[in-house]
Amino acid sequence: MKIDQTIDIEKEHRSMKIDQTIDCIGVFCPMPIIKTKLALDVMKSGEVLEILADDAGFEKDLPAWCSSSGEKFIEIKKEGSTIKGYVMKK
């Protein structure tokens, strides 16, 4: 499921614009990473993708995938059982 929105969040005293959010709640490995790649494929360079997931492996998978794909990993945040990942399109 795709959620289109643009919001600002505070990160280390600076604002980060989220250009797109994808919902991967209830989706398990490898689908959160596949959905992340598909979303980034249609985004513009410099845009930020927020990924919502609840698969525990996603917390380690996202930074590793960014490292191998060249996309810019920004951060992972946990809010209860939800993992929020942030990636900037290269």
Number of DSSP helices (H) and strands (E) in the chain, helices first: 2, 7
Q: Identify the band that residue 14 occupies on the pLDDT scale cut at 50, 70 and 90.
A: low
Rounded Cα–Cα distance for residues 13 and 11 (Å):
5
Residue in 29, 34, 38, 64 annotated catalytic? 29
Mean pLDDT of the chain: 88
Residue 13 has what pLDDT? 30
Confirm whether 24 is a catalytic residue.
no
Residue 15 has what pLDDT? 72
Residue 16 has what pLDDT? 81
pLDDT digits (tens, 9 = 90+) for 27-53: 999 999 999 999 999 999 999 999 999
Q: Which fold has domain 2-88?
A: Translation Initiation Factor IF3 (3.30.110)
Domain ranges for the chain, please list them: 2-88
0.85 exceeded by the pTM?
no
